[in-house]
Structure 1
């Protein structure tokens, strides 16, 4: 009998898991606390390790239309814009890692993933407040007073995960000492920047990363600065363009233009958590930020959620029927993923100092093992026989 699988959370990780499970013919239901499907945030990096898995779910043509394949990353001097170093990307990374490196608006990717999950399998307005495992499965209790029953529960409910607290207990967020101002700016308002390139500027007390999204019509910007500990573990706190102007005083005019070109500005306090010692019970497991919230310095948060989702779908598809088979599948998933994501999570804590981070980011050799990873092939041992990412 096919197990009934419930997913708490319809963010990028939850929808990727739903799409991957549905793609493999499994019975999946998604429960999202919001009243509608909506992904907050701006742009994101989609490394080859994430892209190749999404291409196998059929998203390749849509990504090619909506995302941007940056030709290069340029590091420039903060005060006059002089070129310091350049990392070729584009076709060079396509050949090197066998799949494209994209920059994409989170909302665009979220819509693509939602289109891969039948609408009747996604339930909004369902905030999970608690759940209980029984001898017959899992009972989910929602804030609206309704319940749902499943054989497996996947906690994809983000950094404040209710599922995580039950599986692993309470823990304390770890503050990095930095916060980030981030948002979108129309490319037309930044005429000195080429929308085919990514840019990094490292200056006194700040690091600025800009990269194109929405087919090159917009730039996402992330301005990382030291800050007193944030009041909330959130990426949606209000910011202001005057904050940008203050940070960028004396910088290259190409970057200072952000203060006028930016739309809504949000402040993101940069927290992560210590790696967990376990993710799973006999019927329940975690993925994405619920399992391993990480700092953004490797651009891998969403990519690791995509990897988790596909790996978990493989394990559940190949599970032996019955409760023991489910428990073994979740153990197999955790055994495959937890060491890898722990390494990425801890590695993402590097790059706190702007100058060092810029040079590390430029040298792809430091993250080859991340970008080259194939989470599906790692489980199946079929790297050479899987559909080639194109």
Structure 2
């Protein structure tokens, strides 16, 4: 009898893992707590370290090409003056260099395309896991509706607020990054002042930044980040916000910024949390992937991309060895240093974006404007091939 796998969470990482395992003939069931398949958040930027698998391994290039926008380079600007500090790469240069695109796509569109590649009978909605019992001959999941399911292996792909991680650790270890964010999607006709609408852009300034990029229908997805100290541990990850309250701290910024962040209503504020690195992501029959294993802040735009990398490596390891304990240990070995480096870099780059005016900000701008800036600061992220490369740097405590 073949061994069974239960995946908790039908987000990007969980769906990617399920598709790849099913294509290898493995018995996979996905349990999702929502009543309909939907992603939290508006859109996602996918870089070549992830898109190459969707295009080349999954054969989804045509379907995705209809829904995503290939961004035309990465631009850094002064948020107050609007001055372009640096433009790194272009659509053509990027694809030629990495063999895959850098894109923006609405999460709902990506999820729908991934679902079309999945065995539809393997997805179970309205199944919120409340407990995992790993003491018997198989791991048993208990759901809020009173139901149960068994599996030889449980994969926690349930995101940054992972219940699976809390069950493994016995506590919630989320850390507030010192930043909150507002987000929205804006139609292009509402942005007459926006320069370089096809690029992914960071507008940087003291205490905050604006990130935005196009998605497949031409809309702009924006993510406005403000540095602030609030008692988020008491308030929760997402809180109600009075519309237009997010605009005031940026009222003196460039008109194109104000135009974008005031174009649509914003009624929520998101706290940006991350997780401290774990030495191991496995306990008994339970293993973590994606944000459940290594949630990060979004300043490098790598949360979804790292989930996809995890899914590819874990799928390859499980399909290459009947010894799933060894396969999971090897998966962790191949992923720990890479993901720790991404988490650390993402936290650090947020601090760099928010520097006050002065010598340090001028030094930052000079580094970004240098001819080899992409090679020095970003190539290590975008060029990585998760199915081929094994980071060799040691992990403290391993």
Q: What TM-score do you get using the length of structure 2 for normalisation?
A: 0.88
Residue 222 of structure 1: how far off its partner (Å): 1.3
Which whole-Å CA distance do the structure 1 matches of 2:185 and 2:242 have between them? 13
**For residues 110-259 of structure 1, what are the structure 2 equivalents within 5 Å?**
110-134=111-135, 136-193=137-194, 194-216=196-218, 218-231=219-232, 236-259=238-261
- Equivalent residue number for residue 14 of structure 1: 14
Q: How many aligned positions are there?
A: 374
Contact 1:272 1:294 in 2 (8 A): yes
Counterpart mapping for 1:1-390 below 5 A: 1-55=1-55, 56-134=57-135, 136-193=137-194, 194-216=196-218, 218-231=219-232, 236-320=238-322, 325-351=323-349, 352-354=351-353, 359=365, 363-365=373-375, 366-378=377-389
Contact residue 85 and residue 368 of structure 2 kept, 8 A: no
Query: Could you tell me whether the CA contact under 8 Å between 1:207 and 1:224 is conserved in 2?
Result: yes
Q: 1:354 to 1:154 in 2, by over 3 A?
A: same
Structure 2 CA distance for partners of 1:71 and 1:240, relative to 1, 3 Å: farther
Question: In the superposition, relative to structure 1, how do residues 236 and 104 fare at CA in structure 2: closer, same or farther (>3 Å)?
Answer: farther
Contact 2:179/2:227 (<8 A) preserved: yes
Rounded to whole Å, the distance in 1 between the matches of 2:80 and 2:381 is 33
Distance change >3 Å, CA 171–CA 329, structure 1 → 2: same
Q: CA-to-partner distance for each residue in 1:302-322, whole Å, 9 max, x for gaps?
A: 0000011111111111122xx
Secondary structure of 1:336's counterpart equals: helix
Tell whether the 8 Å contact from 1:182 to 1:265 is kept in structure 2 after alignment: no
Offset of 1:92 from its aligned partner?
0.8
Q: Please give the alpha-carbon distance, in whole angstroms, between the structure 1 residues aligned to 2:267 and 2:22.
A: 36
Contact 1:187 1:219 in 2 (8 A): yes
Aligned equivalents of 2:25, 2:84: Cα separation in 1? 51
Q: Structure 2: any 5+ residue segments left out of the alignment?
A: 356-360, 391-398
1:275–1:342 CA contact under 8 A, matched in 2? yes
Q: 1:346 to 1:107 in 2, by over 3 A?
A: same
Instruction: Give the 3 Å change call, closer, same or farther, for CA 236–76 of structure 1 in structure 2.
Output: same
Contact 1:4–1:27 under 8 Å retained in 2: yes
Residue 329 and residue 58 in structure 1: after superposition, are their counterparts in 2 closer, same or farther (change >3 A)? same
Whether contact under 8 Å (2:244, 2:262) holds in the other structure is no
- C-alpha distance in 2 between matches for 1:57 and 1:167: 32
Within 1, Cα distance between the matches of 2:198 and 2:253? Answer: 22
Change (3 A) 1:42 1:64: same
State how far apart, in whole Å, the 2-side matches of 1:48 and 1:326 are. 29
Contact 1:244 1:258 in 2 (8 A): no
1:383 matched to which residue of 2? Answer: none
Structure 1: unaligned runs, 5 residues or longer: 380-390
Provide the aligned C-alpha RMSD in A: 2.1
- CA deviation profile, 1:319-363 (whole Å, cap 9, x unmatched): 22xxxx121111111111122111211221112242569757773
1:282/1:330 contact within 8 Å kept: no
**Structure 2 contact 176–232 (Cα < 8 Å) conserved:** no
Distance 2:368 2:305 in 1: 16
Distance in 1 between residues matched to 2:49 and 2:77, nearest whole Å: 27
Separation in structure 2 between the aligned mates of residue 209 and residue 135 of structure 1, nearest angstrom: 48
